[in-house]
Amino acid sequence: MSPARTARALARETITREILDSARARLTTDGAAALSLRAVARDVEMVSSAVYRYFPSRDALLTALLIESYDELGAAAEAADAAVADRADTGARWLAAFRAVRTWCVAHPGEFGLLYGTPVPGYAAPRDTVVPAVRVVTVLARIVGDAYAAGARPAAAPGPGAPGAGAPVTVAPALAFIADHELWSGTDLADDAVAEAVRRTIMAWTTLFGLISFELFGHQVGSVADPGAWLDEVALRLAADLGIGA
């Protein structure tokens, strides 16, 4: 690559970064639904037509923000899990991942609103956002898989006749995902206990983000004194539900 091309590439990267940083700031002040390229252009002191050379539409900008934010959040969960030296201590890994997810979300409320808040009218996220979006649940599933391989078993399912009892078909897509990504190698995924562990993992995943949503949108006021301590309590109870020791 010639020096001139390298300079142009660096300049483009710098301006792209400025646009993304401005857009992320506006997620916090204005919300995802109100994000506009025109406002971002004013922030970076560019004319709107110039910004369109970097992001051809608002939807393209939203997609870039989604991918970047999902990747940051997923990386935070992965790093927290990897930092636990005793890999057999799945309880510590589970709690570390939960804490890391909350820490990132609390520090980035605008991005959290884009990822898990009200959908932006008229915008449909493309398929290339899927891989970044599943990084957090992949971390949780890997921890549960390691715990399962070490003998942990989920709490008993509801009795016969209860909705979902003994019906792995409801989590068939999740089981297929685990198989495709080889998250639980050496485990018989056809086992009913595995399907139950997958159910409880999905329940924990959705509870985690529901909990954070309640905190960030003010719904815990008057019921929870310490959101961080509350997250720990919920995480440990969800772990116990999966048979994972504290």
- The radius of gyration of the chain's CA atoms, rounded to the nearest angstrom, is 21
pLDDT recorded at residue 188: 86
What mean pLDDT, rounded, does the chain reach? 92
What are the start-end ranges of the H helices in the chain? 3-29, 37-43, 48-51, 58-82, 90-107, 109-116, 130-133, 135-149, 172-180, 192-216, 227-241
Indicate whether 161 pLDDT > 60.
no
**What is the model's pTM?**
0.91
Q: Are 141 and 173 in contact (CB under 8 A)?
A: no
Nearest to 195 by CA among 185, 206, 187, 207: 187
What integer pLDDT is reported at residue 214 of this predicted model? 96
**Dihedral pair phi/psi, residue 53, rounded to 5°:** -75, -20
How far from 111 is each of 85, 104, 194, 205, CA to CA, in Å? Answer: 30, 10, 33, 18
Distance from C-alpha of 135 to C-alpha of 70, rounded to nearest angstrom: 8
Confidence of residue 164 (pLDDT cuts 50, 70, 90): low
Q: Give the torsion through C-alpha atoms of 147, 151, 152, 157, to 10 deg.
A: 130
